[in-house]
């Protein structure tokens, strides 16, 4: 498709959605981007490239143009270049990488792969697109795969009305899916949330006893010493409050740090939507930093808002309860039902009992190995008496205690039972057909055997020769 053809599609989108303003467009070709800019000339959409595809393309070009050892070195250099979060460092390493390619006489890597051209470096460099909410097109390609194979059933040519109907129907299903995720407090960004919580935990483990490595530099800026490289100091800056929702997966549920508000110059900060360990360390252990971050509220907490219209200006305000009796205040508040409290206490005692049971099992096993009969008999009798009293008081009547008829000695394991394989329906049906075929063949052979004259055999039924010897004394049949 050309840009002129796609412009017709964007014209329809503009008529349906007047406030359509994309911020990012991820595509290697310029067809969609040029068509979009033709219809929306005032848009500030930034064209970016997929990080995964860029890395694979450069790796393939290096393997084609260089020797294996030089190709590995080139891949390491490009990986280091790709993980630079500061533009000045990126420009220095970018110039050094191109110089290394020219010294290795690998100019065709830059010429064949237009990605490495200087004019396109801002499309794939992470330092120039840090505020982008994504760094890869794998989500879009996953949706294309679903549309092509699951919804359109691998049809290469589909009618336009059928395609539109499929998209409308899938939109309703997707809305229901998102609604269910919102009710369960989950989202499609489960992996991003997991990475954020993992970095929060690592920050506590690494900097809890080394808070002196977090140094305030200037206003809203802190320096964090790397634990792996003590001579390296990373800079963490906290900007203005972000405009995204606090329930999105770019926010940490524990410390409230947001990827789009807190920035760091470490290599780990290039992961879109995931704050690095240094940002979490500043948010956890720096008192001034916590005041700049949004308030953290548990996702299952109940937020209570006071309606301003429910109070009258002349109405008496609620009086202070600090002078009242604490017992009256406690009784007026919402209390937890006694049934729930008793169930929680029973659960706690049950967990403690399981621990005692495990400890007793280990002690009894060691006594069994040493042959200490009395050490095992006395606790057994005591436990049976206690269980009898419990069943009498509570009325619980569990099944009887299972007793083994034969006690094996220590160190002797039970003989394993043979593994019984069960055949599925297809295997049983195939065996039945095979058996019926064999039976039919046997029946046919018997019929043929009876009909063949014994005195004029052409082929021997034993050796298979066409003319059996006439001098043979043994009967042929």
pLDDT on residue 305: 43
More confidently predicted of 190 and 328: 190
Whether the Cβ atoms of residue 269 and residue 205 lie closer than 8 Å to each other: no
DSSP-derived secondary structure letter, 314: T
Alpha carbons 469 and 477: distance in angstroms, whole number = 13
Measure the N-to-C terminal CA separation of the chain; round to a whole number of Å.
79
Which stretches of 83-135 are DSSP H helices?
87-103, 107-112, 121-124
Whether the Cβ atoms of residue 258 and residue 250 lie closer than 8 Å to each other: yes
The string of pLDDT tens digits covering residues 445-467 is: 445 445 555 555 444 545 545 55
Alpha carbons 7 and 185: distance in angstroms, whole number = 39
238 phi/psi in degrees, rounded to 5: -110, 120
Reference 379, options 358, 363, 399; nearest CA is 363
pLDDT at 365 over 70: yes
Relative to beta strand 46-48, strand 24-26 is parallel
User: If you write DSSP's letter for every residue of 184-234 in order, what string do you get?
Assistant: TT--S-HHHHHHHHHHHHHHHHHHSS-GGGEEEEETTEEEEE-SS-TT-EE
The string of pLDDT tens digits covering residues 84-122 is: 888 888 888 888 888 888 888 887 777 666 777 777 888
Alpha carbons 46 and 25: distance in angstroms, whole number = 6
166 is written with which tokens?
Answer: 């499929």
Hey, which residues does 221 pair with through a beta bridge?
Answer: 218, 237
Hey, which residues does 235 pair with through a beta bridge?
Answer: 223
The string of pLDDT tens digits covering residues 268-313 is: 888 888 999 999 999 999 988 888 888 776 555 544 443 444 334 4
Whether the Cβ atoms of residue 259 and residue 192 lie closer than 8 Å to each other: no
Which stretches of 216-300 are DSSP H helices?
277-285, 287-292
Alpha carbons 199 and 276: distance in angstroms, whole number = 6
Whether the Cβ atoms of residue 458 and residue 443 lie closer than 8 Å to each other: no
pLDDT at 340 over 50: yes
pTM confidence score: 0.56
pLDDT on residue 387: 82
């Amino acid at each position: 498709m050309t840009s002129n053809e796609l412009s017709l599609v964007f014209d329809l989108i503009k008529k349906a959605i007047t406030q359509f303003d994309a911020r990012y467009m991820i595509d290697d070709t310029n067809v969609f981007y040029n068509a979009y800019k033709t219809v929306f000339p005032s848009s500030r959409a930034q064209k970016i490239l997929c990080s995964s595809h860029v890395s694979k393309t450069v790796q393939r070009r290096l393997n084609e143009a260089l020797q294996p050892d030089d190709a590995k070195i080139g891949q390491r250099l490009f990986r280091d270049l790709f993980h630079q979060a500061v533009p000045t460092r990126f420009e220095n390493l970018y110039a050094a990488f191109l110089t290394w390619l020219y010294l290795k006489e690998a100019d065709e890597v830059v010429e064949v792969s237009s990605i490495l051209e200087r004019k396109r470096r801002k499309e794939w460099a992470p330092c120039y697109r840090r505020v982008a909410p994504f760094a890869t097109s794998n989500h879009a390609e996953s949706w294309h795969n679903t549309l092509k194979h699951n919804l359109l059933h691998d049809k290469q040519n589909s009618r336009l009305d059928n395609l539109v109907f499929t998209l409308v129907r899938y939109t309703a299903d997707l809305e229901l899916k998102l609604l269910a995720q919102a009710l369960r407090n989950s989202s499609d960004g489960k992996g991003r949330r997991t990475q954020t919580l993992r970095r929060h935990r690592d920050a506590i483990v690494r900097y809890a006893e080394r808070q002196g490595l977090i140094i305030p530099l200037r206003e809203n800026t802190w320096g964090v010493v790397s634990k792996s490289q003590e001579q390296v100091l990373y800079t963490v800056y906290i900007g203005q409050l972000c405009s995204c929702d606090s329930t999105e997966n770019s926010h940490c549920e524990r410390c409230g740090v947001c990827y789009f508000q807190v920035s760091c110059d470490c290599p780990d900060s290039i992961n879109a939507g995931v704050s690095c360990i240094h940002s979490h360390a500043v948010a956890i252990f720096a008192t001034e930093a916590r005041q700049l971050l949004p308030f953290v509220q548990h996702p299952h907490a109940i937020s209570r808002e006071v309606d301003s219209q429910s109070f009258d200006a002349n109405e008496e305000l609620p009086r202070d309860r600090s002078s009242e009796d604490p017992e009256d205040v406690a009784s007026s508040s919402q209390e937890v039902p006694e049934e729930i409290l008793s169930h929680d206490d029973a659960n706690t005692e049950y967990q403690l009992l399981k621990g005692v049971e495990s400890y007793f099992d280990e002690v009894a096993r060691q006594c069994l190995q040493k042959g200490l009969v009395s050490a095992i008999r006395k606790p057994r009798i005591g436990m049976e008496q206690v269980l009898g009293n419990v069943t009498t008081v509570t009325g619980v009547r569990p099944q009887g205690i299972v007793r083994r008829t034969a006690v094996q000695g220590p160190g002797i394991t039970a003989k394993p039972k043979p593994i019984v394989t069960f055949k599925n329906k297809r295997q049983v049906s195939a065996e039945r057909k095979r058996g019926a075929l064999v039976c039919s063949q046997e029946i046919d052979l018997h019929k043929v055997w009876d009909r063949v004259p014994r005195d004029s055999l052409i082929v021997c039924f034993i050796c298979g020769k066409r003319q059996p010897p006439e001098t043979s004394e043994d009967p042929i049949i």
